[in-house]
Protein backbone atom coordinates (compact mmCIF):
# COMPACT_ATOMS: atom_id res chain seq x y z
CA UNK A 1 0.00 0.00 0.00
CA UNK A 2 1.07 3.60 -0.37
CA UNK A 3 2.84 5.13 2.54
CA UNK A 4 0.58 7.35 4.62
CA UNK A 5 2.03 10.62 5.94
CA UNK A 6 -0.11 12.39 8.65
CA UNK A 7 0.87 15.83 9.89
CA UNK A 8 0.03 16.15 13.46
CA UNK A 9 0.67 19.22 15.34
CA UNK A 10 -0.12 19.01 18.99
CA UNK A 11 0.24 21.15 22.10
CA UNK A 12 -0.03 19.26 25.34
CA UNK A 13 -0.18 20.98 28.70
CA UNK A 14 3.06 22.47 29.97
CA UNK A 15 4.70 21.98 33.33
CA UNK A 16 3.39 24.55 35.84
CA UNK A 17 6.20 26.26 37.77
CA UNK A 18 4.65 29.39 39.23
CA UNK A 19 1.04 30.47 38.70
CA UNK A 20 1.61 34.21 39.12
CA UNK A 21 -1.91 35.40 38.28
CA UNK A 22 -5.21 33.48 38.16
CA UNK A 23 -8.84 34.56 37.82
CA UNK A 24 -11.84 32.26 37.31
CA UNK A 25 -14.51 34.92 38.00
CA UNK A 26 -16.22 32.69 40.56
CA UNK A 27 -15.29 34.63 43.72
CA UNK A 28 -17.08 37.57 45.22
CA UNK A 29 -14.64 40.09 43.69
CA UNK A 30 -13.19 40.13 40.18
CA UNK A 31 -9.50 41.02 40.26
CA UNK A 32 -9.60 42.80 36.87
CA UNK A 33 -10.02 46.40 35.74
CA UNK A 34 -12.63 47.56 33.18
CA UNK A 35 -10.75 50.31 31.36
CA UNK A 36 -13.11 51.13 28.49
CA UNK A 37 -16.55 52.58 27.81
CA UNK A 38 -18.08 49.14 27.26
CA UNK A 39 -19.19 46.80 30.02
CA UNK A 40 -17.83 43.62 31.56
CA UNK A 41 -20.27 41.69 33.73
CA UNK A 42 -20.57 38.32 35.45
CA UNK A 43 -22.27 35.71 33.23
CA UNK A 44 -23.67 32.74 35.18
CA UNK A 45 -25.06 31.01 32.07
CA UNK A 46 -21.69 30.20 30.48
CA UNK A 47 -18.53 28.91 32.19
CA UNK A 48 -15.77 26.32 32.06
CA UNK A 49 -15.24 26.39 35.83
CA UNK A 50 -18.73 26.80 37.30
CA UNK A 51 -20.55 28.95 37.92
CA UNK A 52 -19.31 32.10 36.15
CA UNK A 53 -17.42 33.61 33.26
CA UNK A 54 -16.87 37.29 32.46
CA UNK A 55 -18.73 38.84 29.52
CA UNK A 56 -17.63 41.94 27.61
CA UNK A 57 -20.02 43.98 25.44
CA UNK A 58 -19.69 47.18 23.45
CA UNK A 59 -22.11 49.47 21.62
CA UNK A 60 -22.16 51.19 18.22
CA UNK A 61 -18.83 52.81 17.31
CA UNK A 62 -17.36 51.84 20.68
CA UNK A 63 -15.10 49.34 22.42
CA UNK A 64 -14.58 47.59 25.72
CA UNK A 65 -11.38 46.51 27.46
CA UNK A 66 -10.42 44.48 30.51
CA UNK A 67 -6.99 44.66 32.20
CA UNK A 68 -5.04 42.79 34.83
CA UNK A 69 -4.27 45.18 37.71
CA UNK A 70 -0.95 46.94 38.25
CA UNK A 71 1.85 45.10 40.06
CA UNK A 72 0.14 41.72 40.07
CA UNK A 73 2.39 39.99 37.50
CA UNK A 74 6.10 40.26 38.32
CA UNK A 75 8.49 38.27 36.09
CA UNK A 76 11.68 39.43 37.76
CA UNK A 77 14.18 36.61 37.31
CA UNK A 78 11.74 34.67 35.14
CA UNK A 79 12.61 34.03 31.49
CA UNK A 80 9.35 32.39 30.45
CA UNK A 81 5.84 33.84 30.64
CA UNK A 82 2.74 32.02 29.37
CA UNK A 83 -0.80 33.41 29.17
CA UNK A 84 -3.76 31.03 28.95
CA UNK A 85 -7.52 31.48 29.10
CA UNK A 86 -10.81 30.00 27.87
CA UNK A 87 -13.01 32.05 25.56
CA UNK A 88 -16.16 32.34 23.47
CA UNK A 89 -15.83 35.32 21.14
CA UNK A 90 -19.32 35.93 19.75
CA UNK A 91 -18.72 39.35 18.18
CA UNK A 92 -19.34 40.17 14.51
CA UNK A 93 -16.79 38.73 12.11
CA UNK A 94 -15.94 42.25 10.90
CA UNK A 95 -15.14 43.37 14.47
CA UNK A 96 -11.99 42.66 16.48
CA UNK A 97 -11.11 41.12 19.85
CA UNK A 98 -7.39 41.40 20.50
CA UNK A 99 -4.92 40.69 23.29
CA UNK A 100 -2.45 43.41 24.30
CA UNK A 101 0.52 43.51 26.69
CA UNK A 102 2.13 46.44 28.52
CA UNK A 103 5.41 46.37 30.44
CA UNK A 104 5.69 50.09 31.22
CA UNK A 105 2.83 50.60 33.65
CA UNK A 106 0.10 50.75 31.00
CA UNK A 107 1.57 53.73 29.12
CA UNK A 108 1.99 51.77 25.88
CA UNK A 109 0.24 48.60 24.77
CA UNK A 110 1.46 46.07 22.19
CA UNK A 111 -0.95 43.81 20.33
CA UNK A 112 0.01 40.12 20.28
CA UNK A 113 0.72 38.70 16.83
CA UNK A 114 2.35 35.57 15.46
CA UNK A 115 2.98 35.33 11.71
CA UNK A 116 5.62 32.64 12.08
CA UNK A 117 9.06 32.46 13.58
CA UNK A 118 10.46 35.40 11.59
CA UNK A 119 7.56 37.80 12.32
CA UNK A 120 6.12 37.40 15.82
CA UNK A 121 6.14 38.98 19.26
CA UNK A 122 4.64 35.86 20.88
CA UNK A 123 4.09 32.19 20.12
CA UNK A 124 0.42 31.38 19.58
CA UNK A 125 -0.29 27.86 20.87
CA UNK A 126 -4.07 27.84 20.45
CA UNK A 127 -6.08 26.22 17.69
CA UNK A 128 -7.75 29.08 15.82
CA UNK A 129 -7.00 28.68 12.09
CA UNK A 130 -7.31 32.44 11.52
CA UNK A 131 -5.60 34.14 14.48
CA UNK A 132 -2.17 34.25 12.88
CA UNK A 133 -3.59 36.06 9.83
CA UNK A 134 -5.99 38.39 11.65
CA UNK A 135 -4.09 39.07 14.92
CA UNK A 136 -7.47 39.01 16.66
CA UNK A 137 -10.56 36.90 17.37
CA UNK A 138 -14.20 37.12 16.28
CA UNK A 139 -17.15 34.81 15.67
CA UNK A 140 -15.35 33.46 12.56
CA UNK A 141 -12.15 32.44 14.39
CA UNK A 142 -13.13 28.78 14.62
CA UNK A 143 -14.88 28.12 11.33
CA UNK A 144 -18.57 27.40 11.91
CA UNK A 145 -18.21 26.62 15.63
CA UNK A 146 -19.35 30.08 16.76
CA UNK A 147 -22.04 30.36 14.05
CA UNK A 148 -20.62 33.42 12.23
CA UNK A 149 -23.08 35.80 10.60
CA UNK A 150 -25.97 34.94 12.89
CA UNK A 151 -27.36 36.35 16.14
CA UNK A 152 -27.04 33.15 18.16
CA UNK A 153 -26.80 32.63 21.90
CA UNK A 154 -23.64 30.64 22.73
CA UNK A 155 -23.64 27.35 24.63
CA UNK A 156 -21.00 25.76 26.82
CA UNK A 157 -19.97 23.53 23.92
CA UNK A 158 -18.44 26.61 22.26
CA UNK A 159 -15.54 27.14 24.71
CA UNK A 160 -12.03 27.22 23.24
CA UNK A 161 -8.68 27.19 25.06
CA UNK A 162 -6.11 29.81 24.09
CA UNK A 163 -2.42 29.79 25.05
CA UNK A 164 0.22 32.42 24.24
CA UNK A 165 3.92 32.28 25.07
CA UNK A 166 4.57 36.00 25.67
CA UNK A 167 8.16 35.58 26.89
CA UNK A 168 9.52 37.70 24.04
CA UNK A 169 7.64 40.73 25.41
CA UNK A 170 7.34 39.99 29.10
CA UNK A 171 10.41 38.02 30.28
CA UNK A 172 12.14 39.57 33.36
CA UNK A 173 9.63 42.48 33.46
CA UNK A 174 8.52 43.57 36.99
CA UNK A 175 5.06 44.92 36.09
CA UNK A 176 3.31 43.03 33.29
CA UNK A 177 -0.24 43.98 32.37
CA UNK A 178 -2.53 42.15 29.97
CA UNK A 179 -5.54 43.69 28.26
CA UNK A 180 -8.49 42.13 26.42
CA UNK A 181 -9.90 44.71 24.00
CA UNK A 182 -12.84 44.32 21.61
CA UNK A 183 -14.13 47.02 19.31
CA UNK A 184 -16.76 47.81 16.70
CA UNK A 185 -14.49 48.06 13.66
CA UNK A 186 -17.15 48.77 11.00
CA UNK A 187 -19.35 51.02 13.16
CA UNK A 188 -22.47 48.97 12.39
CA UNK A 189 -23.42 48.03 15.91
CA UNK A 190 -22.72 45.27 18.35
CA UNK A 191 -25.73 42.95 17.74
CA UNK A 192 -23.96 39.89 19.14
CA UNK A 193 -23.70 38.16 22.52
CA UNK A 194 -20.22 39.48 23.33
CA UNK A 195 -16.81 38.17 24.42
CA UNK A 196 -16.72 35.68 27.32
CA UNK A 197 -13.50 34.94 29.22
CA UNK A 198 -12.92 32.26 31.87
CA UNK A 199 -10.05 30.58 33.73
CA UNK A 200 -7.42 33.23 33.02
CA UNK A 201 -3.89 32.26 34.09
CA UNK A 202 -0.41 33.73 33.75
CA UNK A 203 2.41 31.33 34.56
CA UNK A 204 6.09 32.16 35.04
CA UNK A 205 9.23 30.05 35.16
CA UNK A 206 12.97 30.26 35.01
CA UNK A 207 12.85 27.51 32.38
CA UNK A 208 10.73 26.91 29.30
CA UNK A 209 7.06 26.14 29.97
CA UNK A 210 6.06 24.61 26.63
CA UNK A 211 5.97 20.86 26.10
CA UNK A 212 7.49 19.35 22.94
CA UNK A 213 5.31 19.30 19.84
CA UNK A 214 4.98 16.41 17.40
CA UNK A 215 5.20 17.00 13.67
CA UNK A 216 5.16 14.28 11.03
CA UNK A 217 5.07 10.65 12.25
CA UNK A 218 6.12 8.18 9.54
CA UNK A 219 4.58 5.68 9.05
CA UNK A 220 1.58 6.61 11.20
CA UNK A 221 0.60 2.98 11.69
CA UNK A 222 -3.05 2.04 12.21
CA UNK A 223 -5.49 -0.51 10.84
CA UNK A 224 -4.02 -3.59 9.16
CA UNK A 225 -0.50 -3.58 7.73
CA UNK A 226 0.51 -6.43 5.48
CA UNK A 227 3.89 -7.16 7.00
CA UNK A 228 5.07 -8.97 10.12
CA UNK A 229 8.57 -7.51 9.98
CA UNK A 230 9.77 -5.00 12.59
CA UNK A 231 8.62 -1.48 11.70
CA UNK A 232 10.78 1.65 11.75
CA UNK A 233 9.05 4.75 13.13
CA UNK A 234 10.32 8.25 12.28
CA UNK A 235 9.09 11.20 14.35
CA UNK A 236 9.62 14.93 14.10
CA UNK A 237 9.67 16.26 17.68
CA UNK A 238 10.31 19.96 18.17
CA UNK A 239 11.06 21.95 21.31
CA UNK A 240 12.86 25.21 21.98
CA UNK A 241 14.93 23.53 24.72
CA UNK A 242 15.50 20.39 22.71
CA UNK A 243 14.63 16.77 23.43
CA UNK A 244 17.90 15.13 24.58
CA UNK A 245 18.98 11.61 23.67
CA UNK A 246 16.95 9.23 25.82
CA UNK A 247 14.05 11.64 26.26
CA UNK A 248 12.14 10.54 23.13
CA UNK A 249 10.77 7.14 24.06
CA UNK A 250 8.91 4.69 21.81
CA UNK A 251 6.66 2.22 23.67
CA UNK A 252 4.32 -0.57 22.52
CA UNK A 253 2.35 -3.59 23.68
CA UNK A 254 1.58 -6.76 21.68
CA UNK A 255 -1.85 -8.33 22.23
CA UNK A 256 -2.18 -6.47 25.53
CA UNK A 257 1.03 -7.95 26.91
CA UNK A 258 3.91 -6.27 28.78
CA UNK A 259 5.05 -2.81 27.70
CA UNK A 260 8.13 -2.93 25.47
CA UNK A 261 10.44 0.02 24.74
CA UNK A 262 12.90 0.75 21.97
CA UNK A 263 16.36 0.86 23.58
CA UNK A 264 15.30 1.07 27.25
CA UNK A 265 17.18 3.86 28.95
CA UNK A 266 18.51 5.26 25.66
CA UNK A 267 15.32 6.09 23.75
CA UNK A 268 14.86 6.82 20.07
CA UNK A 269 17.89 7.79 18.01
CA UNK A 270 18.33 11.55 17.52
CA UNK A 271 19.02 11.66 13.79
CA UNK A 272 19.55 15.43 13.83
CA UNK A 273 22.15 15.28 16.59
CA UNK A 274 20.81 18.58 17.91
CA UNK A 275 18.02 17.51 20.26
CA UNK A 276 15.58 19.49 18.08
CA UNK A 277 14.32 17.55 15.11
CA UNK A 278 14.17 14.03 13.81
CA UNK A 279 14.04 10.83 15.86
CA UNK A 280 13.62 7.19 14.89
CA UNK A 281 13.10 3.82 16.52
CA UNK A 282 11.84 0.31 15.72
CA UNK A 283 8.77 -1.59 16.89
CA UNK A 284 9.30 -5.36 17.05
CA UNK A 285 8.50 -8.44 19.12
CA UNK A 286 11.55 -8.28 21.39
CA UNK A 287 13.72 -7.74 18.33
CA UNK A 288 11.93 -10.41 16.28
CA UNK A 289 9.15 -10.31 13.64
CA UNK A 290 5.53 -10.25 14.78
CA UNK A 291 3.22 -13.24 14.47
CA UNK A 292 0.46 -13.15 11.87
CA UNK A 293 -2.57 -11.42 13.40
CA UNK A 294 -0.74 -9.70 16.29
CA UNK A 295 -2.34 -6.47 17.54
CA UNK A 296 0.23 -3.81 18.39
CA UNK A 297 -0.61 -0.70 20.43
CA UNK A 298 2.11 2.00 20.33
CA UNK A 299 2.83 5.52 21.58
CA UNK A 300 5.70 8.02 21.94
CA UNK A 301 6.64 10.07 25.01
CA UNK A 302 8.86 13.16 24.68
CA UNK A 303 10.40 15.10 27.57
CA UNK A 304 12.21 18.34 26.85
CA UNK A 305 15.60 19.46 28.13
CA UNK A 306 14.40 22.67 29.76
CA UNK A 307 14.91 21.55 33.33
CA UNK A 308 11.17 21.77 33.90
CA UNK A 309 10.80 18.33 32.26
CA UNK A 310 7.76 19.25 30.19
CA UNK A 311 6.20 16.09 28.75
CA UNK A 312 3.98 15.40 25.75
CA UNK A 313 2.69 12.26 24.12
CA UNK A 314 1.72 11.03 20.69
CA UNK A 315 -1.16 10.25 20.63
CA UNK A 316 -2.02 12.99 23.18
CA UNK A 317 -3.31 10.55 25.84
CA UNK A 318 -0.30 8.25 25.51
CA UNK A 319 -0.82 4.62 26.49
CA UNK A 320 -4.51 5.12 27.26
CA UNK A 321 -5.21 6.22 23.67
CA UNK A 322 -2.38 4.43 21.89
CA UNK A 323 -2.27 3.96 18.12
CA UNK A 324 -3.15 0.42 17.11
CA UNK A 325 -2.34 -1.76 14.11
CA UNK A 326 -2.62 -5.42 13.17
CA UNK A 327 0.33 -7.19 11.54
CA UNK A 328 -0.71 -9.55 8.75
CA UNK A 329 1.19 -11.69 6.29
CA UNK A 330 -1.28 -10.64 3.57
CA UNK A 331 -3.59 -12.38 1.11
CA UNK A 332 -2.47 -15.88 0.17
CA UNK A 333 -2.02 -17.16 -3.38
CA UNK A 334 -4.02 -18.38 -5.36
CA UNK A 335 -6.45 -15.47 -5.29
CA UNK A 336 -9.56 -14.68 -7.36
CA UNK A 337 -11.89 -11.71 -7.02
CA UNK A 338 -14.89 -10.76 -9.17
CA UNK A 339 -15.49 -7.65 -6.97
CA UNK A 340 -18.95 -8.86 -5.93
CA UNK A 341 -17.83 -9.69 -2.37
CA UNK A 342 -19.77 -7.60 0.20
CA UNK A 343 -16.46 -6.95 2.03
CA UNK A 344 -14.10 -5.55 -0.63
CA UNK A 345 -10.37 -5.71 0.04
CA UNK A 346 -9.37 -3.30 -2.74
CA UNK A 347 -9.81 0.42 -2.14
CA UNK A 348 -9.48 3.79 -3.84
CA UNK A 349 -6.44 5.76 -2.71
CA UNK A 350 -7.50 8.99 -0.98
CA UNK A 351 -4.42 10.80 -2.36
CA UNK A 352 -5.87 10.55 -5.86
CA UNK A 353 -6.45 13.78 -7.79
CA UNK A 354 -9.92 14.26 -9.23
CA UNK A 355 -12.28 11.32 -9.70
CA UNK A 356 -11.79 8.32 -7.43
CA UNK A 357 -12.05 4.70 -8.47
CA UNK A 358 -15.55 3.46 -7.64
CA UNK A 359 -16.93 -0.01 -7.00
CA UNK A 360 -20.33 -0.53 -8.60
CA UNK A 361 -22.43 -1.48 -11.61
CA UNK A 362 -21.24 0.22 -14.83
CA UNK A 363 -23.67 2.22 -16.99
CA UNK A 364 -21.65 4.47 -19.29
CA UNK A 365 -21.61 3.90 -23.06
CA UNK A 366 -19.60 0.81 -23.98
CA UNK A 367 -18.91 0.26 -20.28
CA UNK A 368 -22.46 -0.90 -19.61
CA UNK A 369 -21.98 -4.29 -17.94
CA UNK A 370 -19.48 -6.18 -15.82
CA UNK A 371 -17.50 -8.99 -17.44
CA UNK A 372 -18.96 -11.30 -14.78
CA UNK A 373 -21.31 -10.71 -11.89
CA UNK A 374 -22.60 -7.20 -11.26
CA UNK A 375 -19.72 -5.02 -10.08
CA UNK A 376 -16.48 -3.59 -11.42
CA UNK A 377 -13.90 -1.14 -10.14
CA UNK A 378 -13.76 1.79 -12.51
CA UNK A 379 -13.37 5.49 -13.26
CA UNK A 380 -16.42 6.86 -15.03
CA UNK A 381 -18.95 4.16 -14.17
CA UNK A 382 -21.85 6.42 -15.12
CA UNK A 383 -20.22 9.59 -16.53
CA UNK A 384 -17.00 10.51 -18.31
CA UNK A 385 -13.91 11.07 -16.17
CA UNK A 386 -12.61 14.64 -15.70
CA UNK A 387 -9.57 16.40 -17.08
CA UNK A 388 -6.32 16.08 -15.08
CA UNK A 389 -7.53 13.06 -13.10
CA UNK A 390 -4.78 11.01 -11.45
CA UNK A 391 -6.46 8.14 -9.63
CA UNK A 392 -5.16 5.03 -7.92
CA UNK A 393 -6.84 1.73 -7.00
CA UNK A 394 -4.94 -0.21 -4.31
CA UNK A 395 -4.96 -3.97 -3.88
CA UNK A 396 -4.54 -5.84 -0.62
CA UNK A 397 -1.02 -7.05 0.06
CA UNK A 398 -0.30 -10.49 -1.40
CA UNK A 399 1.91 -13.04 0.35
CA UNK A 400 4.33 -14.62 -2.17
CA UNK A 401 6.60 -16.19 0.45
CA UNK A 402 5.72 -19.75 -0.68
CA UNK A 403 5.26 -18.94 -4.39
CA UNK A 404 7.96 -19.38 -7.06
CA UNK A 405 5.83 -18.90 -10.21
CA UNK A 406 2.62 -16.88 -10.51
CA UNK A 407 0.48 -15.31 -13.24
CA UNK A 408 -1.64 -12.18 -12.95
CA UNK A 409 -4.67 -12.14 -15.26
CA UNK A 410 -7.69 -9.84 -15.42
CA UNK A 411 -10.27 -8.33 -17.77
CA UNK A 412 -10.11 -4.64 -18.71
CA UNK A 413 -12.53 -2.33 -20.56
CA UNK A 414 -11.24 1.14 -21.38
CA UNK A 415 -11.90 4.20 -23.56
CA UNK A 416 -9.35 6.98 -22.98
CA UNK A 417 -8.28 10.07 -24.86
CA UNK A 418 -5.83 9.46 -27.68
CA UNK A 419 -5.49 10.31 -31.37
CA UNK A 420 -2.93 10.84 -34.13
CA UNK A 421 -1.45 13.79 -32.23
CA UNK A 422 -0.80 11.93 -28.98
CA UNK A 423 -1.75 9.20 -26.55
CA UNK A 424 -2.83 11.45 -23.71
CA UNK A 425 -4.68 9.29 -21.17
CA UNK A 426 -4.35 5.70 -20.07
CA UNK A 427 -3.96 3.15 -17.29
CA UNK A 428 -1.06 1.06 -15.99
CA UNK A 429 -0.30 -1.36 -13.15
CA UNK A 430 2.37 -0.69 -10.54
CA UNK A 431 3.71 -2.87 -7.75
CA UNK A 432 5.71 -2.42 -4.54
CA UNK A 433 7.54 -4.99 -2.42
CA UNK A 434 7.31 -3.21 0.95
CA UNK A 435 3.81 -2.25 2.09
CA UNK A 436 5.08 -0.17 5.03
CA UNK A 437 7.28 2.08 2.85
CA UNK A 438 6.37 1.25 -0.76
CA UNK A 439 8.48 2.22 -3.78
CA UNK A 440 6.16 1.89 -6.76
CA UNK A 441 7.41 0.39 -10.06
CA UNK A 442 5.66 -0.17 -13.38
CA UNK A 443 4.66 -3.82 -13.86
CA UNK A 444 5.68 -5.14 -17.28
CA UNK A 445 6.34 -3.18 -20.48
CA UNK A 446 4.76 -2.53 -23.86
CA UNK A 447 6.28 -5.58 -25.50
CA UNK A 448 2.96 -6.93 -26.77
CA UNK A 449 2.47 -10.73 -26.64
CA UNK A 450 4.99 -13.29 -25.36
CA UNK A 451 5.27 -16.16 -22.94
CA UNK A 452 5.78 -13.61 -20.17
CA UNK A 453 2.95 -11.21 -20.97
CA UNK A 454 -0.11 -11.24 -23.20
CA UNK A 455 -2.16 -8.28 -24.46
CA UNK A 456 -0.09 -6.01 -22.22
CA UNK A 457 0.39 -2.23 -22.66
CA UNK A 458 -0.35 -0.91 -26.16
CA UNK A 459 1.47 2.41 -25.66
CA UNK A 460 5.13 2.66 -24.72
CA UNK A 461 5.17 6.35 -23.84
CA UNK A 462 1.93 7.94 -22.65
CA UNK A 463 1.90 11.70 -23.29
CA UNK A 464 0.73 12.57 -19.78
CA UNK A 465 3.28 10.43 -17.88
CA UNK A 466 6.00 9.24 -20.32
CA UNK A 467 5.25 5.72 -19.04
CA UNK A 468 3.71 2.67 -20.77
CA UNK A 469 -0.05 2.25 -20.56
CA UNK A 470 -3.25 0.96 -22.08
CA UNK A 471 -4.60 3.80 -24.20
CA UNK A 472 -7.43 4.42 -26.64
CA UNK A 473 -10.53 2.22 -26.97
CA UNK A 474 -10.53 -1.48 -26.09
CA UNK A 475 -13.96 -1.93 -27.77
CA UNK A 476 -15.20 -3.98 -24.86
CA UNK A 477 -13.66 -6.33 -22.34
CA UNK A 478 -10.15 -7.66 -23.06
CA UNK A 479 -8.16 -10.27 -21.18
CA UNK A 480 -4.62 -9.39 -20.02
CA UNK A 481 -1.95 -11.64 -18.53
CA UNK A 482 1.55 -11.28 -17.13
CA UNK A 483 3.87 -13.81 -15.53
Q: If you average pLDDT over residues 81-99, what whole number do you get?
A: 96
- Domain spans of the chain, in order of start: 6-11+210-327, 18-205
What does the CA dihedral 455, 459, 462, 463 come to, rounded to 10 degrees? -150
Of 19 and 467, the structure prediction assigns the larger pLDDT to: 467
pLDDT of residue 2: 32
pLDDT at 218: 87
CB atoms near residue 385 (< 10 Å): 18
d(C-alpha 445, C-alpha 426), whole Å: 14
| pLDDT reported for residue 295 | 96
Percentage of the chain modeled with pLDDT above 90? 46
Where on the phi/psi map is residue 246: left (φ > 0), alpha (ψ -120 to 50), or beta?
left
Three-state SS letters, the chain: CCCCCEECCCCCCCCCCEEEEEECCCCCCCCCEECCCCEEEEECCCCCCCCCEEEEECCCCCEEEEECCCCCCCCCCCCEEEEEEEEEEECCCCCEEEEEEECCCCCCCEECCECCCCCECCEECCCCCCHHHHCCECCCCCCCCCCCCCCCCCCHHHCEEEEEECHHHHCCCCCCEEEEEEECCCCCCCCCCEEEEEEEEEEEECCCCCCCEEEEEECCCCEEECCCCCEEEEEEEECCCCCCCCCEEEEEEECCCCCEECCCCCCCEECCCCCCEEEEEEECECCECCCCCCEEEEEEEEECCCCCCCEEEECCCHHHHCEEEEECCCEECCCCCCCCCCCCCCEECCCCECCCCEEECCCECCECCCCCCCCEEECCCCCCCCCCCECCEECCCEECCCCCCCCEEEEECCECCCECCECCCCECCEECCCCCCCCCEECCCCCCCCCCEECCCCECCCCCCCCCEECCECCCCEEEEEC
pLDDT at 15 over 50: no
In the prediction, which pLDDT does 451 show? 57
Confidence of residue 39 (pLDDT cuts 50, 70, 90): very high
Beta bridge partners of 43: 53
pLDDT tens profile 116-156: 888 999 999 999 999 999 999 999 999 999 999 999 999 99
The pLDDT assigned to 250 comes to 96
Mean pLDDT of the chain: 86
For residue 454, give every residue at least 6 positions away whose Cβ sits within 8 Å of its Cβ, in sequence order, or none: 479, 480, 481, 482
The pLDDT tens digits for 368-393 are: 888 888 888 888 788 877 777 778 88
Least confident of 215-219, 302-306, 363-367: 363-367
**pLDDT value, residue 11:** 31
> Confidence band (pLDDT; 50, 70, 90) for 435?
low
Domain at 6-11+210-327: CATH code: 2.60.40.1220
290 pLDDT exceeds 90? yes
Q: Which fold has domain 18-205?
A: Jelly Rolls (2.60.120)
Please give the torsion angle defined by the CA atoms of residues 455, 460, 464 and 470, in that order, rounded to the nearest 10 degrees: 0
CATH topology match: 6-11+210-327 vs 18-205: no
Looking at residue 436, its pLDDT comes to: 66
Amino acid sequence: MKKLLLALFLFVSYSTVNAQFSENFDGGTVNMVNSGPGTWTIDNTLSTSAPNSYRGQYTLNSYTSLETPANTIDATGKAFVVLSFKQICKIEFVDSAKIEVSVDGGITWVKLYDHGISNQNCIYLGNSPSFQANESFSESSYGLTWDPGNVTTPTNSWWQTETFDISQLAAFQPDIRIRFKSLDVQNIGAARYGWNIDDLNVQLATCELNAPTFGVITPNLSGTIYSVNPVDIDADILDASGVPQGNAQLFWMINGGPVQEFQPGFGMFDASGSGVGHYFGTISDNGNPFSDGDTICWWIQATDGSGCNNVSFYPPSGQAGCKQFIASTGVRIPYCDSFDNPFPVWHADSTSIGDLWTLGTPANGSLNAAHSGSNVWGIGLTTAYNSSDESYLLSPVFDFSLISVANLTFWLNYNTEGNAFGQYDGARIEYALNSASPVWQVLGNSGGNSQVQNNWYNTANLTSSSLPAWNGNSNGWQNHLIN
